[in-house]
Amino acid sequence: MLTLNTILKEINDVPVNRLEELYQLVHSMTPKSKQTEALRKKILSFAGTFSDLSNEDYNDFLNQTKNSRTKLFDRNIDL
């Protein structure tokens, strides 16, 4: 049976240009619950980001964001 140390030694021999591929392979074998938990933690890291804004500033931010999106996505483009 392989040990973690044996596997890690083999990983050290993987060429640098193939590490991304190896990472994706290992990640594809990770149980979905771990992937979901990692995503949940990333999302929650933004929790409370706007808590230091006053209601007025937060509403201004929301309005500005809405206006920017409208200008960006509601325009006619000639192709």
Ranges of each domain in the chain: 1-28
Average pLDDT value for the chain: 85
What per-residue confidence (pLDDT) applies to 17?
94
Which residue ranges in the chain fall short of pLDDT 70?
Answer: 34-35, 75, 77-79
What per-residue confidence (pLDDT) applies to 41?
85
Q: How far is CA 33 from the centre of its chain?
A: 16
| Angstrom distance (rounded) from CA 53 to CA 65 | 15
Check: CB of residue 58 under 8 Å from CB of residue 50.
Answer: yes
Kindly provide the b/e burial profile for residues 22-49, where b requires at least 16 CB atoms within 10 angstroms of the residue's own CB. Answer: eeeeeeeeeeeeeeeeeeeeeeeeeeee
What are 28-40's pLDDT values in tens digits?
Answer: 887 777 668 788 8
Instruction: Report the predicted TM-score, pTM, of the whole model to 2 decimal places.
Output: 0.39
